[in-house]
Chain A
Amino acid sequence: MAAGATIGSVLIVGGGTAGWMTAVALSHKLRHARVEVTLVESEAIGTVGVGEATVPPIRAFNAALGLDEAAFMRPTHATYKLGIEFRDWARRGDRYFHPFGPFGEPIGGVPFHQHWLAAGALAGAFDDYSLAARMAHHGRFAAPGPASPYGYAYQFDAAGYAAYLRGVAEARGVVRVEGRIVDVVRGAGDDLAAVVTDDGRRLAADLFVDCSGFRGLLIAEALGAGWDDWRHWLPCDRAWAMPTERTGPPAPYTRATALDAGWAWRIPLTHRTGNGHVFASDFLSEDAARDSLIALLDAPALAEPRLLRFAAGKRRRQWIGNTVAIGLSAGFLEPLESTSIHLAQVAIERLLDLFPTGDGDPADAAEFDRVMANEYERVRDLIILHYAATERDDTPFFRHVRTMALPDSLAEKLALFRARGVVMPYRHGLFAEPSWLAVYLGQRVRPAGHDPRATGDAAVLAQMRAAIEAEALGMPRHEEVLAR
């Protein structure tokens, strides 16, 4: 495009969660600009159909786009999520909770976890100091106030969320086109001019957002973005997914149980439970993985098991010319920490920060790639930590992951925590100190030393624990809040 021109049209390729999130966000944020937003998707190809557990920043995303919580929760059969329970990760029989909120409070200016470390066995479980973890344990939920020491996210039906977003986007003027893209027309340089559907329509645009899923129709197939391969750190590459009937009241948290060559998820919704088994095909056959999932189910299945194939990594370049990749087309990290939809959200936010000025400066793309690489790598490191810091050596898979070489960025974080129980701070990235503490300590990483100021006063800790327990028990039950 010519210098000084502005973007007049955006074509979003793909109508999965990422595509419709992008559509809602662009139609809202560009509502004053004369920008036509069109989304093309193919019902014949369909969407990935999973992606049901989220993290708290999704609330800010929804709020910024004027989406009403009640209006969105009902059609998506959503439940509240206070964190993730990890079972059997450091050792078989272990349980810990990664809550959306901090543990305890500083005492005498010394971080709480240092006191907990100083107190040793007297202090009880680290989770006992997290209000969110105790609420989850007791099946409680209440909306937090501005000063509450916890946040929350949602668990929802993936297809329902995309459908809900589609309704909003269409009401805000996004045009949906049904069609399978069979060709891509190049423009000048790295730019794309148009895509062509199977019935011969030519869809031109100034900006293309590739939300086409794993294949990366534009960013990879047409533009050859390159791939940062992370399979040597995250060998899981398959998942079986299978919904079951709802059993009791839905839990306000997701569960991730380590198995022999991967792990199983359990995501409770109001009308059913989502289940899945994420595994490494180098260590377990597809058939055996399916059987082990079925053996875990505690309720009648609602559908046949479905197999998904993927690889851990990200596109080396996520923005090339006038094409930006968002969602699975940009990269993938296994859903252990429910981060994929979040990474799509961050990409949308950064795209809006750097929304093209029309003359397609590569500096915008370079900056987008830089900040997204940072986001992906920091999430990746926390996910790897679950595997790297395990004591399990009961299967070939766990023997492999506990001894693999780590990325430098994680090795230095882990070394500091091992020495002194300190979490490396950073400005940009989803997971802050409480998340790192939850996983380090939950995975039984015990620092060699703690803050010399920490007293670990058992009486003070007991009081804190009791107050948290009482507060959790004073809250309404999750299912009561959902019924309102």
Chain B
Amino acid sequence: MRIAVAGDGIAAHLAALMLARVASVVSVPVGAGGHGLGPVGETVLGTPAWMEGEVAAAIGDLPGAVPALGIAFAGWSAEPWFLPYGDVGAPLDDVPFAQLAARVRAEGTPVRASDFSLAAMAAQAGRFAPRSADPRSPLSTLRPGAIYPAAALAGRLADMAARAGVERAAPLAAPMGSDDRLTLTNGTQLSADLFVDASGGAAGIAAAGWVSWRDWLPCCRVASRRIADAGGPAAYPLHAATPSGWQATVALGGTRVETRYTAAGEGEPYENGRRTKTWTGRRVAIGAAAGVIEPSLGHALQHAHDAVLRLIALLPAAGSDGGAEATEYHRLTAQQYDRARDAAVALWLTAGRPAAAPSTELARKLALHRRRGYLPLEDGECLSRDEWAVLLDGQGVRQERPDPLAAALPPPAVAAHLARLRERLVATVAAMPPLAGGGR
């Protein structure tokens, strides 16, 4: 099988690299710039799920990359908060930690999720250690991610793709038309069994309609810049709400990257939304060509990666017209984007910002959470129940009633449980080495 992958940045090299293991791949530069991941700016976040994939392992140490212990949020609610990459607390008698915390808080004792998360505590202390495989070690509660300088990651993936045998074609001369071939600048026509749009859509391969999510997520301009900074790296990006949107700040050590997302301002335009079909005929969209969600929760790279894995698992069988494969690919891809959108919308909405009424799924989640702290999970969801709990808790959404099972636990047992957890985590953080180059 021959697959043409169009695009210039991370998404294209990632797709080409992954597909080269299963097909003969030719990569086609588009010259549109960017990374095919939507408005990520000069850095890209690798989530814990991405880190568990084979590509992340093969990338290994990338110069300039920094480990990530989570994402810090500021200005979205009364207090700053931290979405940790790792466990938050531990259940007691099968009652989830978030319910224990809600109960203790309802009794008047302030509890912050980040005081019970090793990742959050280490991030704040500027310390870092890799995850331990020993379940008895508190370090096993970490699930670190990574912050990559985008250009370096693209370069590394391009090298890896070349070594994996990806052929490089001449650049695309014009967006793909209705014929199933690409016209290149050297005058040749390129045919393939599949055409993968990893260009953010500029290649014209992904041509289905676009559902705009502007009514939910109004930002539409991104501007990213590097600034020299004498400070050391920080093992987390800071996502701060601004009057007209939000800003991601990443300290890489020696440089700082600031990426601003605004509803009306300077920078590259983008539009949150997704395609009504992400695979039609021989044309498959991945990354921003399939859907765009500004990375307030940092899933852009993971979504592109998951889409390629999905495509590989659904490569059309010999003699198939690909119809069944395309339908399933789109169903799962759309599901993942829609649920990730809901998470981004939840952040926006709970910050008290104007947005359209949430989707049925999000409305249900918010209502049940508000009432009693219960969080139903849907198919395709990218946040775990614990992550949802931290997000909503951080945003100051308080459940109206404690969970009855949590409320029934004897107060001394709950207090002792929390004290024990806290004590172990404090001791563990104290023994962790500083993040190379020092904390922020």
The smallest beta-carbon distance between B401 and chain A, in angstroms, is 5
The reply to whether B324 and A415 contact each other, CB–CB distance below 8 Å, is yes
The reply to whether B381 and A427 contact each other, CB–CB distance below 8 Å, is yes
Which of A415, A425, A453 meets B22, CB within 8 Å? A453
The reply to whether A355 and B403 contact each other, CB–CB distance below 8 Å, is yes
Across chains A and B, the number of contacting residue pairs, with CB separation under 8 Å, is: 103
A361: Cβ under 8 A from any B Cβ: yes
- On chain A, the residues within 8 Å of B403 by CB distance are 355, 357
Question: 1/0 per position for B294-332, CB-CB distance to A under 8 A?
Answer: 000000000000000000111111111001110110001
- On chain A, the residues within 8 Å of B270 by CB distance are none
A143: Cβ under 8 A from any B Cβ: no
A interface residues, how many (CB within 8 angstroms) = 44
The reply to whether B371 and A451 contact each other, CB–CB distance below 8 Å, is no
The reply to whether A419 and B320 contact each other, CB–CB distance below 8 Å, is yes
Where chain A touches its partner, the secondary structure class is loop
Question: 1/0 per position for A436-447, CB-CB distance to B under 8 A?
Answer: 000000000001
Which of A29-37, A119-127, A242-250, A470-478 lies at the binding interface? A29-37
For residue B410, which residue of chain A has the nearest CB?
A32
- On chain A, the residues within 8 Å of B404 by CB distance are 6-7, 33, 355-358
Question: 1/0 per position for B373-390, CB-CB distance to A under 8 A?
Answer: 010111101000000000
The smallest beta-carbon distance between A174 and chain B, in angstroms, is 16
The smallest beta-carbon distance between A53 and chain B, in angstroms, is 27
Where chain B touches its partner, the secondary structure class is loop
Docked Cα-Cα span, A356 to B371, in Å, equals: 11
The smallest beta-carbon distance between A131 and chain B, in angstroms, is 24
Question: 1/0 per position for A96-125, CB-CB distance to B under 8 A?
Answer: 000000000000010100000000000000
A90: Cβ under 8 A from any B Cβ: no
Docked Cα-Cα span, A354 to B379, in Å, equals: 20
- On chain A, the residues within 8 Å of B332 by CB distance are 425
Query: Knowing A64-B94, A357-B401, A427-B379 touch, does A416 contact B317 (C-beta < 8 A)?
Result: no
The reply to whether A448 and B320 contact each other, CB–CB distance below 8 Å, is yes
The reply to whether B408 and A422 contact each other, CB–CB distance below 8 Å, is no
B156: Cβ under 8 A from any A Cβ: no
The smallest beta-carbon distance between A193 and chain B, in angstroms, is 21
A424: Cβ under 8 A from any B Cβ: yes
- On chain A, the residues within 8 Å of B93 by CB distance are 32
- On chain A, the residues within 8 Å of B320 by CB distance are 419-420, 448-449
- On chain A, the residues within 8 Å of B317 by CB distance are 419-421, 447-452
Chain A residues in contact with chain B, CB under 8 A? 4, 6-7, 29-30, 32-35, 64, 109, 111, 352-359, 361, 363-364, 367, 371, 415-416, 418-422, 424-428, 447-453
Given A416-B327, A452-B316, 15 more A-B residue pairs with CB atoms under 8 Å apart are A4-B401, A64-B94, A109-B21, A111-B313, A355-B405, A361-B372, A363-B371, A420-B320, A420-B324, A422-B314, A422-B325, A428-B379, A448-B320, A452-B1, A452-B315
Chain B residues in contact with chain A, CB under 8 A? 1, 21-22, 93-94, 312-320, 323-325, 327-328, 332, 364, 367-368, 371-372, 374, 376-379, 381, 401, 403-405, 407-410
10 interchain pairs, CB-CB under 8 A: A32-B409, A33-B408, A353-B374, A364-B371, A371-B376, A419-B320, A422-B313, A449-B317, A451-B317, A453-B312
